[in-house]
Amino acid sequence: MRLQESSMIGRCDESARLSRRTSLDLQSFIRLRNILGWSIETTDAATAALAHREVIYPSDTTQHHVLDGDFIQCPAAVQELSIKTSITVVELFPFWGLMYAQFSNSLYARLFLRSGLVKLYPSLAFVDGDGQTDATFGKNKGAVLRALGMTQDDQVVFMGIIGFDSNTPWTLDGISRLYSHQQLYKMLHLPVKRYADWWRVVCQKGGVDPFTDPQSALKVLDLWLYLPEGIE
Considering 2-11, 32-41, 104-113, the range whose residues carry the highest mean pLDDT is: 104-113
Residue 230 has pLDDT above 60, yes or no: no
* Residue 143 Cα distances to 50, 96, 172, 178, 184, angstroms: 27, 23, 14, 13, 20
Q: Which of 16, 45, 67 marks a domain boundary?
A: 67
Domain co-membership, 82 together with 61: no
Domain co-membership, 142 together with 194: yes
94 band by pLDDT with thresholds 50, 70 and 90 = very high
Contacts of 62 (CB under 8 A, 6+ apart): 4, 8, 55
* Residue 61 Cα distances to 10, 14, 48, 57, 123, angstroms: 19, 23, 18, 7, 32
Domain co-membership, 194 together with 104: yes
**What is the C-alpha to C-alpha distance for residues 175 and 195, in angstroms, rounded to an integer?**
19
Domain co-membership, 31 together with 132: no
Predicted structure pTM score = 0.79
Q: Among candidates 21, 84, 24, 86, which has minimal Cα distance to 57?
A: 21
Domain co-membership, 130 together with 195: yes
Q: Which of 9, 36, 67 marks a domain boundary?
A: 67
Span 144-170, average pLDDT: 95
Boundaries of domain holding 140: 75-232
- Whether 123 and 140 have beta carbons less than 8 Å apart is answered as yes
* Residue 59 Cα distances to 9, 63, 207, angstroms: 18, 12, 39
Concatenate the DSSP letters of all residues of 65-89 into one string: EE--HHHHHHHHHHHHHHHHHT--H
Identify the pLDDT of residue 114: 82
**Coil, helix or strand at residue 28:** helix
- Whether 208 and 219 have beta carbons less than 8 Å apart is answered as yes
Identify the pLDDT of residue 43: 86
Which H or E run includes 41?
A: helix 40-50
Span 176-188, average pLDDT: 94
Query: What percent of the chain shows pLDDT beyond 70?
Result: 78
2 band by pLDDT with thresholds 50, 70 and 90 = very low
Domain co-membership, 1 together with 55: yes
Instruction: Report the number of distinct structural domains present in the chain.
Output: 2
158 band by pLDDT with thresholds 50, 70 and 90 = very high
Give the amino acid at 200. R
Domain co-membership, 81 together with 59: no
Domain co-membership, 90 together with 204: yes
8 band by pLDDT with thresholds 50, 70 and 90 = very low
Q: What is the pLDDT of residues 10-53, one digit of tens each?
A: 455 555 566 776 777 778 778 888 888 888 888 888 888 887 66
Domain co-membership, 22 together with 137: no
Domain co-membership, 37 together with 104: no
Q: Which of 67, 97, 120 marks a domain boundary?
A: 67
Domain co-membership, 119 together with 41: no
Domain co-membership, 135 together with 191: yes
**What is the C-alpha to C-alpha distance for residues 203 and 207, in angstroms, rounded to an integer?**
5
Identify the pLDDT of residue 194: 92
Identify the pLDDT of residue 127: 57
